[in-house]
Amino acid sequence: MKQVGGANALGLCVPQGGIHPIQCPACSKPPIRAALENYDSASLYECPGCDLHFWHPVAMPDVAWHEQTYQTRDQTALPLEPGHRFFLSDPKAPKSGRLLDLGCGVGNFLAAARDSGFEVTGVELNPSAVRFARETFGLRDIFALRPEEFRAANPDKTFDVVTFFEVLEHQDDPQRFLKIAQECLASGGYIALSVPNRTRWQKGVETLDYPPNHLTRWSPLALRNFLEKNGFEVLSMQQEPLNIGRAAQVLSMGLRTGLVAKIAGERPPSPSDLAAMPPAELEQAIERMNHKTSHRLAARLALWKNFAMIPAATMLLPFLRMRGFTGLYLYCLARKRDAVAKPTT
């Protein structure tokens, strides 16, 4: 890890060379403090205006990286995530209408939304996930496109609800992403989303929460500021309660033994490591992690370690909840504020 930025005489953070000022991708304000953390070639900054934590410099990886990194998730009918369940049970959320899910993955949420009464459409970057969604759930209106490509191909199509669960934190330009979602909304339409909760209880390093996978970190305050600034009224916001499984995982992360790396014969590559690899080397690394006996054994050991922490997590959970510790997910439902028509004279 290395420092890549600092503060100039005016208190504005600038990257090495001072060419481009560092600005918050949500509200454009410059950070006024030094980086909170450094990782590979990027640094994490805190926005003094909206409370967002963001990495700089960063760029979203391409389709090939997503296919390689998430390939095992493209072959399984995953259970609904907490954000999905929050939306489907939210009394303030609509229960029918046209729904567009941006970053719909393998389509598990789209299938549940369809079965509950919505007319569903999905957009997903990963073509393998789109194929799986079509074949497994019989979803037809699902497309392997970027959101901006879908919008350009359907400029007149609008939806009553636009959802994006565990997607916003992957965007290098969240402002542009939200604008596309907003353009897809009908008058008075809703958005529903979830992001990893920055204020969650955690110990140690969660490698998936670093570039090039996660490019921003959201708190309840940062998310509310971002949505309200862009013309939305926040109707409900829920922080996932800390549960036994998450508590056991955090305790396991805090108890570092080094056995996983020893058994695997190497330190498992992080998302940043994978993103920097040439295509052939990336394919070999993924192949080793998926098929080499030592890597499979190391992955099982990590799971066993989590399970071993369940008794301790069960005992500590009431105390941890009393201290205000929360789980991984932050859910939000908001409604578009449409401009009030001027009275005619």
Q: What is the 3-state secondary structure (H, E, C) of the chain?
A: CCCCEEECCCCCEEECCCCCCCCCCCCCCCCCCCCCEEECCEEEEECCCCCCEEEECCCCCCHHHHHHHCHHHHHCCCCCCHHHHHHHHCCCCCCCEEEEEECCCCCHHHHHHHHCCEEEEEECCCHHHHHHHHHHHCCCCEECCCHHHHHHHCCCCCEEEEEEECCHHHCCCHHHHHHHHHHCEEEEEEEEEEEEECCCCCCCCCHHHCCCCCCEEECHHHHHHHHHHCCEEEEEEEEEECCHHHHHHHHHHHCCCCHHHHHHCCCCCCHHHHHHCCHHHHHHHHHHHHHCHHHHHHHHHHHHHHHHCHHHHHHHHHHHHHCCCEEEEEEEEEEECCCCCCCCC
- The two structure tokens encoding residue 25: 């991708």
CA angle 86–334–112, rounded 5-degree value: 35
> Considering all CA atoms of the chain, what is the largest pairwise distance in Å, rounded to the nearest integer?
78
What's the rounded Cα separation, in Å, for the pair 313 and 244?
6
The Cα–Cα gap between 203 and 66 comes to 26
Could you tell me the domains of the chain?
Answer: 1-57 (no CATH), 63-242+327-336 (3.40.50.150), 245-322 (no CATH)
Residue 310's pLDDT is 92
pLDDT per residue of the chain (345 residues) written in tens, 0 to 9: 333 344 433 334 444 444 568 999 999 999 999 999 999 889 999 999 999 999 999 988 877 666 666 656 666 788 999 999 999 999 999 999 999 999 999 999 999 999 999 999 999 988 889 999 999 999 999 999 999 999 999 999 999 999 999 999 999 999 999 999 999 999 999 999 999 999 999 887 788 899 989 999 999 999 999 999 999 999 999 999 999 999 998 888 877 766 555 655 556 665 556 655 666 666 666 666 565 666 566 567 667 777 888 999 999 999 999 999 999 999 999 999 975 434 443
Instruction: Report residue 215: phi and psi, to 5°.
Output: -110, -10
- C-beta neighbour count of 59 within 10 angstroms: 12
> Do residues 332 and 178 lie in contact, with contact meaning Cβ atoms separated by under 8 Å?
no
CA distance 16 to 5: 6
What type of residue is 133?
A
**Tokens representing 164?**
């994006």
Q: Which pLDDT value is given to residue 34?
A: 95
Residue 105 CB partners (closer than 8 Å, separation 6+): 73, 78, 124, 126, 129, 133
Sign of the C-alpha dihedral computed for residues 127, 128, 133 and 136 taken in this order: positive
**Rounded Cα gap, residues 25 and 35, in angstroms:** 15
Note the pTM of the prediction, 2 decimals: 0.82
- Give the separation between CA 167 and CA 133, rounded to whole angstroms: 18
- Pseudo-torsion of CA 101, 103, 104, 109, nearest 10°? -70
Residue 338's identity, in one-letter code, is D
